[in-house]
Every structure is written in C-alpha cells, then in structure tokens.
C-alpha cells in the first residue's frame, strides 16, 4: 500500500467513525461512502488529474442481504467488513468501466486516462448520496445538498484532505452549475480564470499548501448525453485547454 493510500485510510477511519456516522439523520436513506483506492499510475503521472462528480449512485444500497448491510448502515453496523468492501467496490467500478462502457459518466472519465486504469482519480464532492423519494412513482433524487449540515461538513472536510494528500495538478468538476456554491464553499479562496461558456464551462484556480491547482467545471455527463445535439463537447474543450497549457 502506497503512502497516500495509508493516509487516506487513516483519514476515513477518523472522519467516518461510528461516533460521527451515528449523528447523521435518516441513515436508511444514505448510500455508503465513496472511499478512494489510489493506483500507482496516478502517482506516477506527470500531470495528476482528479475527475469529480456530485455524489454516489446506489453505493452498496442495491441487492444487499439485509437492511443492516445497506448503504451507510453497513459502515455503522459492520465497520471493518464494510471498510474493506468499499475499497474493493471502488476498484470494481473502475475496472468494469475501463475502455468502452455504457456508463455515461465513465465514458467521459475515460477520455482523460489514456487507457491507464486509475491514472485519473475519480472522486465526488459528497461522500454519500441522499436517496430521497420525490413522488409516489419510484422517482428518486440522489442530491445530497439538502440532507444536512453535518453531511456537508463531513464531505467538505474529507474532500479537502483528499486533495491535500493526493496533490492533483488539475481538477475537473462534472457537477453542473447547481453545485457551484458547494465548490465555492469548499474552496473559498478560488479565483476565476475564465468563464468560457456561461453555466457550461468555468475555469478557475485555488492555492492549497502553496500549490496552484487548475480547475474546470462543466455539465454532468448524464445531462450531456441527453442533450448532446444541443451542447458543445465541453470535455474536448477541457482536454484541448490542458494540452495547450502542459
């Protein structure tokens, strides 16, 4: 296990301890957290990149054997077992979506990896999704924004430490404009470099540990897929901008 992974393990054990998780409201509606498993291909990259979504989607909430092993309850009730399982689950998601995939999120993620497994860190702003039913029709929202102040604080504290540990040069937020306030709250010292396309492509930067990190925020891959004919290929614009700068 590399040094960075050891630091992440220690971080998660502290910030996602039983005493912390037990304070969360409606745990039955929260997914398990996304725990990063870092590959050597990322650590050896000349330009370290992090590709960031909103929150998890059914992370250990489907097809679980019992309620006490679903979502965040799995970590609350069976911490050691769940902890190990979550690192494995992260790798399984990367491996099952490498190359050509039907998953819209990983289709765009893969464009930044040059085919190397784990060479770009996949992360989310929120550690868990809030599976809140919106209507009587099986229509669920995964947004974690309105769950609780505690979940926002847990996610913010962990995310900032992940960035400090992993030291990315570039961060790509595919979170859409509705999460801009979250980004600004996480990194209040940010400076806008350019709003390339209003609500679609924003380039900014911030300093962490005396290191400048260049960031891009664009629309979510699922939204892009549904509206592809009406939208530009923002991911290619980001790739072109990165290539011109490095």
Residue 69 and residue 163 in contact, taking contact as beta carbons nearer than 8 Å: no
Express each pLDDT in 69-93 by its tens digit. Answer: 888 999 999 999 999 999 999 999 9
CATH architecture of 3-245: 3-Layer(aba) Sandwich (3.40)
User: How confident is the model at residue 133, as a pLDDT?
Assistant: 56
Q: To the nearest whole percent, how much of the chain has pLDDT over 70?
A: 94
The model's pLDDT over 1-40, given as tens digits with 9 standing for 90+, comes to 789 999 999 999 999 999 999 999 888 889 999 999 999 9
pLDDT average, residue stretch 189-203: 96
Is the pLDDT reported for residue 189 higher than 90?
Answer: yes
Does residue 56 register a pLDDT over 90? no
The Cα–Cα gap between 29 and 172 comes to 28
Q: What is the pLDDT of residues 115-147, one digit of tens each?
A: 999 999 999 999 998 876 544 444 444 678 878
Cβ neighbour number for residue 12 with a 10 Å cutoff: 21
Domain boundary assignment for the chain:
3-245
> What is the largest distance, in Å, between two alpha-carbon atoms of the chain?
51
C-alpha dist (Å) from residue 22 to 64, 73, 84, 158, 159 = 20, 9, 20, 17, 20
What's the chain's average pLDDT? 91
């Amino acid at each position: 296990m590399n040094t960075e992974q050891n630091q992440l393990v220690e971080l998660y054990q502290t910030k996602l301890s039983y005493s912390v998780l037990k304070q969360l409201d409606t745990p039955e509606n929260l997914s398990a957290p996304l725990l990063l498993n870092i590959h050597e291909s990322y650590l050896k990259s000349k330009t370290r990149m992090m590709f960031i979504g909103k929150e998890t989607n059914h992370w250990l909430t489907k097809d679980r054997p019992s309620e006490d092993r679903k979502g965040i309850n799995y970590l609350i009730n069976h911490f050691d077992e769940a902890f190990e399982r979550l690192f494995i689950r992260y790798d399984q998601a990367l491996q099952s979506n490498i190359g050509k995939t039907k998953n819209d999120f990983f289709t765009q993620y893969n464009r930044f990896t040059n085919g190397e497994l784990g060479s770009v860190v996949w992360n989310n702003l929120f550690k868990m999704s809030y599976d809140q039913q919106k209507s009587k029709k099986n229509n669920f929202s995964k947004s974690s924004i309105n769950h609780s102040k505690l979940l926002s604080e847990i996610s913010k504290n962990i995310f900032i430490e992940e960035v400090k540990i992993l030291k990315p040069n570039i961060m790509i937020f595919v979170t859409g404009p509705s999460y801009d306030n979250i980004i600004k709250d996480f990194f209040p010292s940010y400076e806008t470099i350019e709003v390339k396309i209003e609500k679609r492509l924003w380039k900014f930067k911030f300093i962490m540990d005396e290191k400048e990190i260049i960031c891009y925020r664009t629309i979510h891959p699922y939204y892009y897929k549904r509206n592809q004919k009406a939208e530009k290929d923002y991911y290619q614009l980001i790739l072109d901008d990165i290539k011109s700068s490095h």
